[in-house]
Amino acid sequence: MTDHITAADFSSADMLGDIEQLVMCESPSRDVARLAHSADVLSTLMTRLLGSAPRIIESAAGPHVHWSGGGDPHVLIVGHHDTVHPAGSTAARPFTVDGDTASGPGIFDMKAGIVQALHAVSKLADRSHIEILITADEEVGSHASRDLIVERAKAAGSVIVLEPSADGGAAKVARKGTGTFEVVVSGKAAHAGLEPEKGVNALMALAEILPNIAAIADVTKGTTVTPTMAKAGTADNVVPDEAICTVDVRVVEPGEKERVEAAMASLVTNVRGATITIRGGINRPPMHESSSRQLFSLLTSVGRELGMNIDGVAVGGGSDGNFTAQAGVHTIDGMGAVGEGAHTTHECIVVSSLTSRAALVAKMCQLLSSMDKMEPLPSVPAAR
């Protein structure tokens, strides 16, 4: 262990071995049994690298893994071990290394980032001010982990989020608020050929309101409202009695959460007898740039020491950093792996970036541990 950490202190081969273990341990969201096995694998890895075992925190969504250096925390490292990839994905696409590219389900989002962080903390002479929280449900909204994340973030004062980096290794300094709505239109079934007039066509009602849903978007404010999936009907000769549409929503500015939710709730149809039910909402508030400003300044300084030029970008996707930022905690996101293809069949990472990214996380933790704990942000622009 050293106080003068550089990329040369890390072994990409060692990290690849640990990454392979995590990738091949499948952990689909909501699959509690597989997530429990993944938590056990993570616990063993943490114990080996960090010298002490984490707590396994059970939840309805699966177990979260929480490690503490034992002292008053100054920085919380946040990640998740659930992935969007279904069981069996590694049989079709096992962990593979081809030149400077390593691939496999969940490697970019975010199993390589977790390994980078664990190796980073393992090199610190003093780990007492570090906490690591790897949750089990980020990909499905963090409903079972949000309170715990915010609690530990407030205790630490600063947060490093292990979501994959933006293009070229850039940090993510702002995020849109995100949410999903489900629009359920109920009608009445009838024979489509013999007596369609006795039915109430839910599909026609949904088709009528789809343009109104899309019109809720406001490009001038960065608000997107996008119908993404729909289903209706039971047979080709039956008037559909139900039609369901999923709507993806992203917001940037304060007040847009309330406006969009109110607009969705006020949707109406002219199809007589049809009714509309709205489920869901915007569950991740925006992560405003002000919440990352101080940490990004420190990050660019640390990067220069390591010979790295770190850019910062605003992105549309949400993460658990949205919650910690909204709670008034200094947050820097996108500190995980460099690569591409999150949530796709071609997820991959850049092998040659592993050691420099681990060094970057290590030096950020080292710096934040040596400083006074960061005070809460004075004010955070909020979607109330």
DSSP state of 170: B
Q: What is the pLDDT of residue 300?
A: 98
The predicted-structure confidence for 206-253, as pLDDT tens digits, reads as follows: 999 999 999 999 999 999 999 999 999 999 999 999 999 999 999 998
Q: What is the pLDDT of residue 383?
A: 40
Distance separating alpha carbons of residues 72 and 79, to the nearest angstrom:
20
- Domains detected in the chain: 7-176+286-370 (3.40.630.10), 177-284 (3.30.70.360)
The residue whose two tokens read 């940037």 is: 252
pTM of the predicted structure, to 2 decimals? 0.88
The predicted-structure confidence for 333-357, as pLDDT tens digits, reads as follows: 999 999 999 999 999 999 999 999 9
DSSP conformation letters of 50-116: HSSPPEEE--TT--EEEEE-SS--SEEEEEE--BSPPTTHHHHS--EEETTEEE-TTIIIIIHHHHH
Distance separating alpha carbons of residues 202 and 207, to the nearest angstrom:
9
Q: What is the pLDDT of residue 380?
A: 53
CA 117, 118, 124, 125: dihedral to nearest 10 degrees?
160
Q: What is the pLDDT of residue 192?
A: 97
Q: What is the pLDDT of residue 379?
A: 63
Closest by CA to 37, choosing from 46, 24, 25, 48, is 25
Q: What is the pLDDT of residue 1?
A: 47
Q: How many Cα atoms sit within 13 Å of 182 on the Cβ side?
A: 8
Q: Which residues of the chain have pLDDT under 50?
A: 1, 381-384
Distance separating alpha carbons of residues 368 and 194, to the nearest angstrom:
73
3 is written with which tokens? 């106080």
Is the CB of residue 116 less than 8 Å from the CB of residue 353?
no
